[in-house]
Structure 1
Amino acid sequence: MEPVDAARWQFAIVTVYHFIFVPLTIGLSPLVAIMQTAWLVTGKAHWLRLTKFFGKLLLVNFAIGVATGIVQEFQFGMNWSEYSRFVGDIFGAPLAIEGLAAFFVESTFLGLWIFGWDKLPRKVHLACIWLVAVATNLSAFFILAANSWMQHPVGAIYNPETGRAELDDFGAVLLNNTLWAAYTHTIATSLLVAGTFVTGVAGWLLVREVRAGRVDLARTVYRPAALLGLVTIVVSGAGVAASGDWQAKLMFEQQPMKMAAAEGLCETQTGAGFSILTVGDLSNSCEGVIHLIEVPGLTSYLATGDFAGRVDGVPELQEYMAERYGAVDAAGEEINYSPNLALTYWSFRLMIGFAAGSALLALAALWLLRKKGSVTDKRWFARLCLIAIPTPFLAASFGWIFTETGRQPWVVVPNPTGVDMVRMLTSDGVSSSVSIAEVITSLTVFTLLYGVLAVVWVKLMTRYASHGAPEVEPPPDPDDADSDRPLSFAY
């Protein structure tokens, strides 16, 4: 194993692990804000109970997400110091703004929300959780601004004297069409994750309470939560489909090799079909690949808007890129410009396949809860709720695996219509001073530590979720209370 391989493994493991928590935090924070808003507007106690209940789960998820996210920042300066040296002027700007303008706001107002239940005026306290939701989504925007720049660099110039990329137009970085497609897709996906989580947890508790004879509790508390999650699934599911189509069309234009690999296109085709099942050797040799099941013309439509459109295959794109960017690297070895075809092909399909779990849960919930005030005691629905909860998490993770591994061997993908010289191969971005032994040691430590954190996260989430929504008294209005009352921890 080369140092670049170990460094890639470490970054992949840390990133995918961290991203497990990210979409739930992004999507659940506005849902908790909606629940608290419903309580403040209607005065109905069940919305307060749901706010406290899902708010606690949000806090657990947020805490572990923050702890695992910090590690990623250090890797850029350690394992990937050559990458940071080359593009740090551009890449560091949105990450710095994310920390100063988004994460600090998010953390500050989350603290006020936790401790200010009986101290802050109710409308001010409600504004705190909404600011958390806004800041969380703003944080995602700036992080994706950095990532999307790597996928499609804009607003930069190459300085031949320093051998570095330099920021030329920060506005172009923030207006990058790759960023806006990725951002809308990520936010829609996060809401899908949160909607499935709320529906799954509420649906399981609803069945449990009905079977225990507490039908009124199921109807007044968990049914509204399940319906809120159901609406979120339907709306966000449409958003995922629309934004995914937008993103796919951009990828066919900006990263044609990624999309050719995703479809296992081993030759240029007109009217290329969307492959459902492919057999053969999906290695980089691209030999003996047969599409057993496919939807005729769909890939061409996704790429060009025309069912008979032309889509270039992997061998033709390899020849084109070798001619444009060089056939050999600095060490004299031949450069393979196609990613791992099997990984790219199957991660793309697993992303779509696991997302179907949310759709199945939505259909079942819509049918069982379609009548006004209806609840259910079906065991199969409770099981479906538990099975469906992790499916959008897995879909989101495979989506990032597809996005990041599909652009290999580039860490900064060239933009031939813009800043073509601002590009970098992954092998050129790894640190030259960090040994493979050091990377493997830190990788082992992180894997063990994250394994422990995973157990803690699962135990805390399942414990608090199984307890159900607690009985709570509405907090006193601070305007009518003792002004000297200290802030108190609400959980």
Structure 2
Amino acid sequence: MTSMDVVSLSRLQFGLTALYHFLFVPLTLGLAVLLGVMESVYVMTGREIWKEMTKFWGVLFGINFAMGVATGITMEFQFGMNWAYYSHYVGDIFGAPLAIEGLMAFFLEATFIGLFFFGWDKLSRVQHLAVTWLVALGSNLSALWILIANGWMQYPVGAKFNPDTMRMEVSDFMAVLFNPVAQAKFVHTVSAGYVTGSMFVLSVSAFYLLRGRHVEFAKRSMTVAASFGLASALSVVVLGDESGYTAGENQKMKIAAIEAMWDTEPAPASFTLFGLPDLKNRRTNYEIKIPWMLGLIATRSIDKTVPGINELVGHAEQRIRAGLIAYDALDKLRRQPSDTERARLDANAADLGYALLLKKIRPDITNAASDEITAAAWSTVPAVSPLFWSFRIMVGLGFYFIALFAVAFVLASRRELTRYRSFLWLALLSLPLPWIAAELGWVVAEVGRQPWVIEGVLPTFLAVSSISAANVWFTLIGFVVFYSTLAIVDVYLMLKTVKDGPPAGAAPEQPKLRLAVSPAE
């Protein structure tokens, strides 16, 4: 059996690199669309200040985009380095969205980003505006294909196990493409990126207003950020509800763990606003609940139950036993082809992955005892406390963003952005919060999927490469040093650009005075 040290280190390495990479992705998504909005205003009005705004925020976008590319490329290499069996087992499905992302989205974005920076004097206004929106489109398409791949890991549809090749293979690519989990994750993640971009513009603009610098530039930028940010923050909450529903349909254990709900409640289930999960006694203490809320989110009904952890563990135990039948049939089929064994395998193939959970306990899983099957069933419960708190902090921040952008929108509408310095300080200090929310969202999505690398199909501990822990340590340290260096460079360049500010000419044009009478008079 593969050393658990290698599994833990490989998970740690991919988790850290993903968290680093996700520092840059949301801002890229948000700023790309904001650039399109600002330049659209410039094209419609012809006012130079909007052009200078697009250029200034475009420089910050370019810095962040370059760092995102550098951190993203190494992530894909890890599938071959640390997750070789995963790549072999599901590469037929998982590889297609990644390849399309590279060919369709990344090259579209990379091609037009050069025209964005160097085409101001070579393209007409409308042509350059089209380039800017194509950059934004490329950013969103890139996120779409990545999240289609990730959504399939959460809810593996459109594929089936082939006993002849011992791999998962595509059976319906359209089902993979229109996976409901992937679609929900895409719109939710992209909206969160828009919030991040809006908060970045809002906070930097607040900094300028507090310093009394570039006031007109900052007020216009803040107005755009407040309007776009409010719409995006509202979308995040609404689309997050959709993500909760899809998880309630397809990842019931994740929902139960997020809620620390050990026992199934009568329908409709209540939502735990606050509580202290007690893992030892498998209960949650000091609960404050909102009646009906969880049932409405997870089932969109008042008569369907949301199963608790204990019930789901019992269901997992049944699936393990069915999976053992499939495993035994597969073993016999590989030794001696038989229609009877193939029929047994086909009838229980959906549960084969659950039987593989036993390989963490013993190599000869067909001889597993009842207590070992029970232990394997309990391994399907992800880390409850991190999920419980990560979700609540993320949701709390989401409602905070709505309130903050709503206040900013009202002040901008009344032309009172410079009146309340306390609000400007609040906007400035809120700068890191969207990244915290985004990272916590990633924790909820990925930790909630454990112990599966492919939900219900392939346990994480079986997906790693046959390499030594020393090799993983070496690359892990290398990635941390490299990514930390990039993060420091990114922050330095961002701070330097913000400190320098927009060019001195980025001020609104003063209206020309017109004489009331003709000079002849």
State TM-score, norm by structure 2.
Answer: 0.84
Q: Pick from 95, 117, 120: which aligns with 2:120?
A: 117
- Map 1:24-423 to 2 at 5 A: 24-209=27-212, 217-218=214-215, 220-270=216-266, 271-281=268-278, 283=279, 285=280, 287-307=282-302, 309-326=304-321, 329-330=358-359, 331-332=361-362, 334-335=375-376, 336-371=379-414, 373-414=415-456, 423=457
Q: What is the identity, as a one-letter code, of the residue corresponding to 2:245?
A: K
Distance 1:2 1:240, change over 3 A: same
Larger Rg: 2
In the alignment, the residues of structure 1 paired with residue 451 and residue 311 of structure 2 have an alpha-carbon distance, to the nearest angstrom, of: 17
- Is the Cα contact below 8 Å between 2:217 and 2:506 reproduced in 1? no
Q: Deviations over 1:290-342 (max 9, x none)?
A: 24222122112211223564211111101111210357512426321110111
Counterparts of 2:74 and 2:234, CA distance in 1: 34
> Per-residue displacement from partner, 1:396-447 (whole Å, max 9, x unpaired)?
1100110011011111113xxxxxxxx1111111112x11111112111211
* Residues 1:425 and 2:459 are matched in the alignment: yes
Regions of 4+ moved over 6 Å? none
> What residue identity is the alignment partner of 1:149?
W
User: Secondary structure of 1:471's partner?
Assistant: coil
CA distance in 2, matches of 1:103, 1:304: 37
Q: 8 Å contact 2:244–2:298 — kept in the other structure?
A: yes
Contact 2:397–2:437 under 8 Å retained in 1: yes
State the one-letter code of the partner of 1:241.
V
Q: Which moved more, 1:386-395 or 1:67-76?
A: 386-395
Shift of 1:111: 0.8
Tell me, yes or no, if the aligned pair for 2:202 and 2:428 is still in contact at 8 Å: no
Q: Deviations over 1:130-149 (max 9, x none)?
A: 11111110111111111111
Q: For residues 302 and 180 of structure 1, what CA distance do their matches in structure 2 show?
A: 17
Residue type matched to 2:441 in 1? G
Q: Give the superposed CA RMSD.
A: 1.9
Give the conservation status (yes or no) of the 8 Å contact 1:82–1:428: yes
Cα distance in structure 2, aligned partners of 1:302 and 1:56: 41
Contact 2:10 2:82 in 1 (8 A): yes
Contact 1:298–1:307, Cα closer than 8 Å, also in 2:
no
Equivalent AA in structure 2 for residue 246 of structure 1 = E
Q: In the superposition, relative to structure 1, how do residues 278 and 80 fare at CA in structure 2: closer, same or farther (>3 Å)?
A: same
AA aligned to 2:435 is F
Deviation at 1:102?
0.7
Deviation at 1:110, TM superposition (A): 0.3
Tell which deviates more after alignment, 360-369 or 113-122: 360-369
Amino acid at match of 1:201: V
Aligned pair count? Answer: 455
Distance 1:316 1:347 in 2: 24
Tell me which amino acid in the other structure corresponds to 2:114: G
Choose which of 4, 7, 10 in structure 2 pairs with 1:4: 7
Task: Look up the equivalent residue of 1:337 and give its one-letter code.
Answer: T
In the alignment, which residue of structure 1 is the partner of 2:343?
Answer: none
Shift of 1:473: 8.2
Letter in 2 for 1:185: H
Contact kept? 2:52, 2:503, Cα under 8 Å = yes
Partner of 1:479: none
C-alpha distance in 2, partners of 1:472/1:101?
Answer: 38
Structure 2 counterpart of 1:147, one-letter code: N
SS of 1:199 mapped into structure 2: helix
- The answer (yes or no) to whether the contact 1:357–1:388 under 8 Å persists in 2 is no
Letter in 1 for 2:257: A
2:198–2:225 contact (8 Å) kept in structure 1: yes
Aligned mates of 1:240, 1:105 — CA distance in 2 = 26
CA distance in 2, matches of 1:251, 1:462: 39
Residue 84 to residue 25, structure 1, CA distance change in 2 (3 Å): same
Contact 2:206 2:222 in 1 (8 A): yes
Q: What residue is the counterpart of 1:485 in the other structure? A: none
Q: Percent identity?
A: 41
Alpha-carbon displacement from aligned partner over 1:182-231 (angstroms, at most 9, x marks no partner): 1111111111111111122112212322xxxx6xx52x322121111111
Unaligned runs of 5+ in 2: 322-354, 363-371, 508-521
Is the Cα–Cα contact under 8 Å of residues 162 and 169 in structure 2 kept in the other structure?
yes
